[in-house]
Structure 1
Amino acid sequence: MSPRFRSALSAVLIVLACLAVPCGVPAGWAAYGLTDTGRYVAAMAPLADDPAVRDAVADAAADAVGDGVADEVAAGPLNGTVRLFAQDAARSFTRTDAFREGWDAANRTVHDAVLRALRDDRADGRAVTVDLAPVADRVKDRLAEDDVPFARRIPVRHITVTVLPAHEADRLRKGYHVLDVAAFWLPVAAVVFAVTGIAVAACRRRAVTAAGVGTALGGALLALSVVVGRRLTVAELPDAVEGAVDGPAAGAVYDALTGTLRTASWLLVVLGLTVALASWLTGRYGHLLRRRRAPAGTPVAPAPPRPPRPRL
């Protein structure tokens, strides 16, 4: 093959590799990170101490109590008084260990239910629901252990909550299968394209530098996508979710879930720049270092000629 053809083929392969990197990392994060229940619960656990999340939970609980009172009595001063009392009580509860334990149990229950629905192809057309009675029973036991008055008398009812409607579950199930395939093949394709592009290049050192720069640019693009995705996610919350979770709380949840993705994006930037800089320095100063280290009178092989640049 002519040097011009080898350079063009190498450039195409390296571009494909650099494009596969920022696509393969999110796919792997979604397919292997978000689907691990232990990692998901560990990522969500610190949010139990986040003020925005605790206030959002307390407000949602107060609204639920207020709506229940409004169904029993006419709306008026009593409803507002009960709502304020429930809000104060809920905010006090969110600062206890029982809330943290219930938070972890609820996240584990919801994650298991969603994961089973995504992996079960026979669940088409069915909504994803969870029964929070085991979570309430666990919180009740913890309150009793903390000697909270009348904790043993708290009734535990089966509360079925719809996590995902049927149409949303079907759409996510199809996307999950695509991510499961892409999470494996995109990283493999990136490595194969990069290695092949460097191997066929007329100037391999220059190809390595280009691959490093492209990897760093891909990591920077991924980091920018995470930032833009946060703004879009918080701004485009559905009305049903926005009524229960405010912007700061939703942003805290998004940051907790994408922490690994942000770390991976910056690692790609550092790795790519390191490889590119090392390759550039080796090409620029490697020949001079070999000449300095050679004994006096020893002939030093001249630097290999650069391949001719293709004329446009």
Structure 2
Amino acid sequence: MPLGGLSVWAKYEIGDTRRYVATMGPLATGPEVRGAVADTLTHGIMTKVEAGRLDGELRQFVREAARSFTSTPAFRTAWDTANRAAHDAVLRALRGERDDAVTLDLAPVTQQLRDRLAEDRVPLAHRIPVTHTEITVLEGREVAALRKGFRMLEFASFWLPVAALALAVGGILLAVRRRRAIIATALGAALGAALLALATAVVRALTLADLPPHVSRAAAAAVYDALTSTLRTATWTILALGLTVAATAWLTGRVARHRARSAEPPPARAREERRARA
């Protein structure tokens, strides 16, 4: 069941460009992503500009302008466009055969930012070159490592949930004591959900701990949390549902046994009834 839930999430949440862009869209208004994008744009621009004594002043202007630009509708449009392009590139890499690195080009965003700086009469804004400033989304070795796992999850996204449901229903129908089978199945589902929630948290910690120094930890955490939001919601829902079903089945069993004992006649009365019948 944990692998089934993970495969469904990978197929319909991560593997769907429309849903991916919709999930990532709200991050464009968050301070973590806005700050990381502003820092990346500022660094990319300043490495291309020779400002001399005006370097510090220009850097400050560019940083403030970049930060201001990330609050505009134009940036949100560029953000969605960039994420859509990056997601398409990642899916092509994972579903293809080549192990090339996946990169994202920031040239369109740089162009809009330069126009914004020129309108604000920032010194040397016209000298900012609009070059292909690329961000590496996935390294080549990461593509090769992720491809097999992603393909397996895509294949299993249908069969694993169906198999888990069939085994659960079949086990309950074939069980001699079905109430106990329902309790065991519900507890098993809850345990599986708990393991998946734990794995999600562990992977989050490992991912953030393994980031390169230049990558914003806050932005990466925001992205990870957004992407796994549906998965975490599903795991906690299954966990709560499993515990509820198990508790309900156990309580109804207790009530049924109590009623059965209450309906039985006392031992003395039962002996008298047997003598009368004899």
Question: What is the TM-score when the length of structure 2 is the normalising length?
Answer: 0.80
Amino acid at match of 1:264: A
Task: Describe how 1:96-135 pairs up with structure 2 within 5 A.
Answer: 96-121=72-97, 124-131=98-105
User: What residue number does 2:152 align with?
Assistant: 178
User: What residue number does 1:93 align with?
Assistant: 69
The alpha-carbon distance between structure 1 residues 44 and 125, as it changes in their structure 2 partners (threshold 3 A), is: closer
Deviations 1:109-148 (CA, angstroms, capped at 9, x unpaired): 1111111222233xx24333455556667x58xx79xxx5
Q: Within 1, Cα distance between the matches of 2:62 and 2:131?
A: 19
User: What residue number does 1:275 align with?
Assistant: 245
Task: Describe how 1:175-254 pairs up with structure 2 within 5 A.
Answer: 175-237=149-211, 239=212, 242-243=213-214, 245-254=215-224
Q: Within 2, Cα distance between the matches of 1:149 and 1:63?
A: 20
Deviations 1:185-207 (CA, angstroms, capped at 9, x unpaired): 22122122222322332311111
Amino acid at match of 1:89: A
Task: Describe how 1:32-181 pairs up with structure 2 within 5 A.
Answer: 32-69=12-49, 72=50, 77-121=53-97, 124-131=98-105, 139=112, 162-181=136-155
Contact map agreement 1:216 1:269 (CA 8 A) in 2: yes
Question: What is the TM-score when the length of structure 1 is the normalising length?
Answer: 0.72
Contact map agreement 2:23 2:227 (CA 8 A) in 1: yes
Contact map agreement 2:44 2:133 (CA 8 A) in 1: no
Task: Describe how 1:251-266 pairs up with structure 2 within 5 A.
Answer: 251-266=221-236
Q: Within 2, Cα distance between the matches of 1:63 and 1:135?
A: 13
The alpha-carbon distance between structure 1 residues 73 and 86, as it changes in their structure 2 partners (threshold 3 A), is: closer
Amino acid at match of 1:217: L
Q: Within 1, Cα distance between the matches of 2:93 and 2:108?
A: 20
Deviations 1:211-253 (CA, angstroms, capped at 9, x unpaired): 111211221222222222222111111x2xx40x311111111
Q: Within 1, Cα distance between the matches of 2:259 and 2:145?
A: 59
Contact map agreement 2:24 2:227 (CA 8 A) in 1: yes
Amino acid at match of 1:248: A
Contact map agreement 1:66 1:80 (CA 8 A) in 2: no
Q: In the TM superposition, what is the alpha-carbon distance from 1:171 to its structure 2 partner?
A: 2.4
Of structures 1 and 2, the one scoring higher in RCO (CA 8 A, sep 6+) is: 1
Aligned residues: 256
User: What residue number does 1:24 align with?
Assistant: 4
Contact map agreement 2:75 2:109 (CA 8 A) in 1: no
Q: Within 2, Cα distance between the matches of 1:201 and 1:288?
A: 23
Q: Within 2, Cα distance between the matches of 1:280 and 1:185?
A: 31
User: What residue number does 2:271 align with?
Assistant: none
User: What residue number does 1:8 align with?
Assistant: none
Deviations 1:257-278 (CA, angstroms, capped at 9, x unpaired): 0000110011111210121122
Deviations 1:137-174 (CA, angstroms, capped at 9, x unpaired): 7x58xx79xxx569xx9986555655333332222222
Q: SS at the partner of 1:68?
A: coil
The alpha-carbon distance between structure 1 residues 228 and 129, as it changes in their structure 2 partners (threshold 3 A), is: closer
Deviations 1:76-125 (CA, angstroms, capped at 9, x unpaired): x533332222111111111111111111111111111111222233xx24
Identity %: 53
Amino acid at match of 1:183: S
CA RMSD of aligned residues (A): 2.9
Deviations 1:26-55 (CA, angstroms, capped at 9, x unpaired): 121012210111111111111111111111
- Gaps in structure 1 of 5+ consecutive residues: 1-20, 294-312
Q: Within 2, Cα distance between the matches of 1:50 and 1:269?
A: 30
Q: Within 1, Cα distance between the matches of 2:177 and 2:105?
A: 62
Q: Within 2, Cα distance between the matches of 1:171 and 1:191?
A: 30
The alpha-carbon distance between structure 1 residues 126 and 236, as it changes in their structure 2 partners (threshold 3 A), is: closer
Contact map agreement 1:102 1:136 (CA 8 A) in 2: no
